[in-house]
Amino acid sequence: FKKIGTSELLNQSWSNPKLQYNSANVINMIKRTDKVAFWVSTTILLAGEETKKRADTLRRFIRIAQHLHKLQDFNTLMGVLVGLSTSSINRLKQTWALIDEENMELYKSYEALMSPQSSFRAYRDHIIHVNPPCVPFLAVYLSDLTFIDEGNSDVIDGLINIDKRKMIYEVIEKLQLYQSDQGYVGLKRLEPLANYLEALPRFEEKEQYKVSLSLEARVEGGAEQTTEKKTK
């Protein structure tokens, strides 16, 4: 996050194939969120055929989300939430049924916080009260910059549109506030865990869904079938 330069946030270069070389760090952060999401769902699916093991893994990710919230790392928090809400995980009714009320309420509270409803209103209302260190959810600010860029002309009556430049500056300034902080003092890199979290082994979406179906089959006759082996 701290590597993102001001120039990377201009002209929507992160979404323009011809200009993406100008926004390498922005693109890396976007991809990182996607990697986290696919890693979360893959890890749950690979927990095994036993429903309880999958539920234990799912519950652990809810607790990881709790720690991310305390650390104010909203970008990774969103990645975890997306992973928990993928079709491959969301359809595992038997697995979700084993999640206790406390953890479900915790999960729902983070879902509400990071909801895209009303242009991420809950997140926006929350983060204005957050002090560094913090890793904001980058996509919100990229969306704002896109809206400003596309909704306002660069030039008005032959003159540079200063108001547009001011709005862009105000968005970038919010990100720079968190970039300028010293960061998470006291956190140490722990190997081999750090290397694992950089790699985040994961399946692609189609493969995940195949595994999901093999664990809990589609609804037939009003009930989910399962491939879980019964112990005698």
Q: Kindly report, residue by residue over 107-123, the tens digit of the pLDDT.
A: 999 999 999 999 999 99
pLDDT at 218: 75
Average pLDDT over residues 146-165: 95
Q: Give the whole-angstrom CA distance, residue 186 versus residue 85.
A: 32
Work out the percent of the chain whose per-residue pLDDT is above 70.
94
183 burial type by CB count under 10 A (0-12 exposed, 13-18 middle, 19+ buried): middle
Tokens 């005698």 locate to 232
**DSSP letter for each residue of 110-143:** HHHHT--HHHHHHHHHHHTTPPSS-B--HHHHHH
Instruction: Give residue 7's identity as a one-letter amino acid code.
Output: S
pLDDT at 229: 42
pLDDT at 219: 60
- Model confidence at 220, in pLDDT bands (50, 70, 90)? low
- Model confidence at 188, in pLDDT bands (50, 70, 90)? confident
Average pLDDT over residues 83-111: 97
Q: Give the whole-angstrom CA distance, residue 116 versus residue 152.
A: 23
Average pLDDT over residues 48-63: 96
- Indicate if the pLDDT at residue 76 is higher than 90: yes
Mean pLDDT of all residues belonging to the chain: 92
Cα 230 to its chain centre, rounded Å, is: 36
pLDDT at 181: 77
pLDDT at 222: 46
Average pLDDT over residues 193-200: 90
Token pair listed for 28: 């890396």
pLDDT at 143: 97
Average pLDDT over residues 139-152: 97
Residue 60 φ/ψ, nearest 5 degrees: -65, -40
- Indicate if the pLDDT at residue 223 is higher than 50: no
Buried b (16+ CB within 10 A) or exposed e, 25-61: ebbebbebbebbbbbbbbbbbebeeebeebbbbbbeb
